[in-house]
Amino acid sequence: MLDIRQIASPSFALLSYVLTDTETGQSMVIDPPADMDTRVDLGSLDIRRVINTHIHPDHTMGNHLFADKTPILAHPGDSGFFNRLASSSLAAIFTARIPPKISFTLSEGTELALGRTAIRVMHTPGHSPGSICLFWPGNLITGDTIFVQGIGRTDIPGGSLADIKKSIGRILALPGDTRIWPGHYYGGLSTATLKEIAPSLQCIMDSIR
């Protein structure tokens, strides 16, 4: 069984996660904020890996806390993406260092073991070419693909409205009792089941041409 700790950061209304197997104590960090070490006692955790759901700077600013100690993994669709952002208008929004030593080895169907739980990678491009979600029975960490209140932006470098529509369709095919854990919090609920948000997601899908 996995314990899910959701960490809200005021910077960019970011939501990050620490997953911990309650039997073995093994942990995994998803999208660490820059100040994660002031919010979590990292030294007390047996952190096996760090996952970036995509390589936008707000989701990688805490990577430096784990450099040279813990594998940092992402999807190859975003390899080199950060460097392209450096010369774009988006870069001016963030004050982040280049993420250190990311291993771009995750792909559709990759299984990440945490204790006895197998967490499956879903490649869900649209917000970025390498955006991923992390699924295990009853739960889905969605990064910036979908939120409780909507979907990720596609009007930024690497974004694709057609791709995110396909990705949302795949997510909607998951069991309705799957609880989503999004990458940002814009007021209201910070988590919900797919059944609860499916009508609004379907409306968004229907509006995308």
Q: Where are the alpha helices (DSSP H) in 19-62?
A: 36-39
- Residue 61 is predicted with a pLDDT of 87
Per the CB < 8 A criterion, the answer to whether 107 and 131 are in contact is no
- Residue 93 is predicted with a pLDDT of 52
| Each residue's pLDDT tens digit, 4-53 | 999 999 878 999 999 999 999 999 999 999 899 999 999 999 999 999 99
- Residue 90 is predicted with a pLDDT of 53
Per the CB < 8 A criterion, the answer to whether 123 and 105 are in contact is no
Look up the CATH number of the domain holding residue 141: 3.60.15.10
Distance CA 26, CA 6 (A): 16
Range of the domain at 130: 2-207
**Radius of gyration of the chain from its Cα atoms, rounded to whole angstroms:** 16
- Residue 157 is predicted with a pLDDT of 86
CA-CA-CA-CA dihedral for 151, 153, 159, 164, to nearest 10:
10
Distance CA 59, CA 34 (A): 9
Which residues of the chain, if any, have pLDDT below 70? 82-100
- Residue 88 is predicted with a pLDDT of 57
Instruction: State the total domains in the chain.
Output: 1
Per the CB < 8 A criterion, the answer to whether 183 and 146 are in contact is no
- Residue 186 is predicted with a pLDDT of 87
For residue 194, give the H/E element and its range: helix 194-207
